[in-house]
Amino acid sequence: MIFKSAKINAFRTWGLLLTMLGMGLMILGTAGIVFWGHAGKVIAAVGLVIGLVAMLGSLIIYFWAGMLSTSAVQVDCPECGKLTKMLGKTDRCMFCHTILTMDPNKANTMSPPVEPSTPPAAPSK
Ligand SMILES: [Zn+2]
């Protein structure tokens, strides 16, 4: 992962980048007509098609991120105390970027692992 951010935030970043790229290509393609006249029409067409594909790709990424965020697990970050969402077993906190994990084997913290609440032991006779 290049960006030190939560997976949902990373998806949003890539979606935004693709949207910007698509819009930029469309604007550049249209500007090609202004600058190069007739020859620019080919550049404009190519730019518009690639721009449209990039915009569609970003739409899919946004949609995917939305679908993933509905299935994400909400946890209280032990570092900053804020409510964050986790994708998969390991993810970063959205706010302080601390790596959080559900897998006790990957945890390297000295604090005791968070145990799921167990029912009280049955009284022995
Ligand atoms: Zn946090």
Residue 22 lies in a domain: yes
Between CA 92 and CA 79 the distance in angstroms is 11
Residue 96 lies in a domain: no
Residue 24 lies in a domain: yes
Residue 116 lies in a domain: no
Domains of the chain: total = 1
Residue 84 lies in a domain: no
Whole-number Å distance, alpha carbon 14 to ligand 1 midpoint, is 22
Whole-number Å distance, alpha carbon 86 to ligand 1 midpoint, is 11
Q: Domain range holding 16? A: 7-73
Contact yes or no for 86/102 (Cβ under 8 A): yes
Mean pLDDT of the chain: 79
Q: What percent of the chain has pLDDT over 90?
A: 1
Q: What percent of the chain has pLDDT over 70?
A: 82
| Unique residue bearing structure tokens 């190069």 | 36
| Average pLDDT rounded to a whole number, residues 57-83 | 85
Higher-pLDDT residue of 86 and 119 is: 86
Whole-number Å distance, alpha carbon 95 to ligand 1 midpoint, is 5
DSSP H/E element including 92: strand 90-92
Contact yes or no for 67/51 (Cβ under 8 A): no
Residue 53 lies in a domain: yes
